[in-house]
Structure 1
């Protein structure tokens, strides 16, 4: 009996997830017959995904923007991308928000802003609405390599190694070296959508400093050594920079990343 009840509940959640994938963009979000939340004037919903949470089965994440500007990349299919195109392609620019929704009532439980690592005082971020496959945002494997396609932005995975696929990553490559990455996801403990902070000790020679940031270079584009543990290098020496050694762990109790980056100056 318990097994049948579990299977019925799982089937119901999967049906809800399917409904989420077929609803078009608007200022409201439809959840089947449930109440559609409203985000206000100028809101454009980019994606929404149901969270298959055992504790809170009626939760969903919604990625939306306010009056986004559309920036199509009008190039021939055989023309290569420049470095910023790797995370943009044809893109929207404008204020970006992620909301946690109660799908039963339509209540917006909380909303976070997504601010750029490079311009945190500017309430604007770039997100692709069409991009070629093979870069940082997921595009269906069957897609033509040369043509831009709609990416999946809320690609829920277990990024932090806590065993729950409640997070998605955003990427920003403004130049050919440097890839800012940030993690957004659902905290069952807080019943909130959160942007995961990175508490970082920076070491360069005898200089030590500690900072907390929402973005980390290349972190979420790297494969962890084990769940919740990353060790990798980023070599900026060819551009007059340093060789950076990163070691990052996820602290589940604090719901944040912690670690060190050791910078070795180039010649």
Structure 2
């Protein structure tokens, strides 16, 4: 079987994301509950730190190369413009989504560059440099050039994640929808120790908070595992279609290390 083209791999990646959000039921909120206070608190305290991130993603394989602009959500985690994003926004092994691709065809990895961030209260897209990426944790950090005094999420007071707890993820819409903040609720559904310790959740990817605005953890997708699960039978068993939460204490420790690292700019980007 011939190797899937970069275009088809990107298409499969997008389809998998759409299928995930259609398959995962969002948290059913009790009719008698009122989340107005939590919403206002989170928007007031945390939404200024949620920033849009743009980048160019390049896929090269089989003599083909494709470049596309993409977008993700980031969170300011230091006043100097340090931004926390998912590691998938920096690099992603597309071959892990294609179980039938021949191993002799070479790795198909999507790499990103030309990161830009729009800081709070600004219409300007500012250049950001990659600081570091932690593949084990699934996190990456960018630093916006010449940024200071930015509102940011600190990790001084954390919330302990546990099965049954509700959490909230903050997002920001595109300009088409006014770049307004959204608060999406989620729930920790369970936990596992196979193949590694992980909290299993239903919600939206990103930095998660409790109702008081304290960081609880980072929610993300294991796309490779979901792709493998889709390849079994008719895919009627939806139990594995969950996200994972990394506890905030681990996000905090990794962010402290990242904040102390210098940025090494590419020669063609150096000022």
Whether TM-score is above 0.5 comes out as no
Larger Rg: 1
TM-score (norm 2): 0.28
Higher relative contact order structure (alpha carbons within 8 Å, sequence separation ≥ 6): 2
More helix by share: 2
